[in-house]
């Protein structure tokens, strides 16, 4: 994994070194693929027994986007709009009760579909900072969650999802763009049925550093 990451970084740096001077990003449709490190935030969960803490391990996330670069000087504004599908999966690490912390198991996965709007600086040059927001839905799955080795929950929930993002577009050619960014992703409270039959309610949020390639067509 580390070797692959180093090779990817070296490849991108080589591309940047051999990319010419400023190129204009073409308006119109584009598609892209992203990967990143996903760090879920610790949250407070609750059920019939009261409140308790729950935390998950960091992992890798992946995304695919289909969007449209707006025309320069568009009345809507400078930037782009897109549909984004993302997949996240994190292992349940610890569950913290008043009595103490115990080991968890199983995976919490999220598949989201968001509509994003990004404002992009279109100043002359190769580098274009951006910021944006998105909203949509997510299917969050408690896949065989366990607490101290005992069954905890195996359920799914569809909830409202949203995100905020900031980053930098680097024009490699007039059709190819390297995207370096940060994403904060969160949902409305997620509800699962526990193995005991109680209803578990928890918050879901994550932070991610992402890198992607977008190609215009």
The pLDDT value recorded for residue 78 is 83
Nearest partner of 70 among 52, 56, 82, judged by Cα: 82
Which residues lie below 8 Å from residue 200, measured CB to CB, with a gap of 6+?
Answer: 45, 46, 47, 142, 153, 191, 192, 193, 194
In three-state form (DSSP H/G/I as H, E/B as E, the rest C), the secondary structure along 176-207 is: EEEEEEEEEEEECCEEEEECCCCEEEECCEEE
Report whether 112 contacts 137 (CB < 8 A): yes
Domain assignments of the chain as residue spans, ordered by start: 2-216
Could you tell me the pLDDT band of residue 76, with boundaries at 50, 70 and 90? low
Instruction: Tell me the pLDDT tens digit for each residue of 84-119.
Output: 999 999 999 999 999 999 999 999 999 999 999 999
State both tokens at 5: 């990451």
Fold classification of 2-216 is: Porin (2.40.160)
- Quote the CA–CA distance of 68 and 82 in Å, as a whole number: 6
The pLDDT value recorded for residue 23 is 56
- Quote the CA–CA distance of 54 and 45 in Å, as a whole number: 7
The pLDDT value recorded for residue 41 is 86
pTM: 0.86
């Amino acid at each position: 994994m580390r070797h692959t990451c180093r090779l990817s970084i070296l490849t991108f740096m080589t591309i940047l070194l051999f990319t010419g001077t400023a190129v204009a990003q073409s308006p119109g449709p584009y598609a892209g693929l992203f990967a990143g490190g996903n760090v879920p935030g610790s949250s407070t969960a609750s059920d019939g027994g009261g409140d308790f803490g729950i935390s998950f391990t960091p992992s890798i996330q992946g995304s695919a986007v289909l969007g449209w670069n707006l025309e320069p000087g568009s009345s809507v504004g400078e930037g782009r709009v897109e549909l984004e599908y993302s997949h996240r999966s994190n292992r349940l690490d610890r569950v913290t009760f008043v009595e103490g912390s115990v080991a968890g198991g199983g995976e919490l996965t999220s598949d989201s579909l968001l509509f994003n709007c990004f404002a992009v600086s279109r100043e002359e040059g190769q580098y274009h900072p951006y910021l944006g927001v998105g909203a949509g839905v997510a299917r969050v799955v408690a896949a065989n969650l366990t607490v101290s080795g005992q069954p905890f929950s195996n359920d799914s929930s569809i909830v409202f999802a949203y995100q905020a993002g900031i980053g930098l577009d680097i024009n490699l050619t007039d059709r190819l763009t390297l995207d370096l960014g940060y994403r904060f992703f969160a949902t409305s409270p997620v509800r699962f049925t526990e193995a005991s039959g109680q209803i578990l309610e928890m918050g879901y949020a994550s932070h991610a550093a992402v890198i992607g390639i977008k190609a215009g067509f």
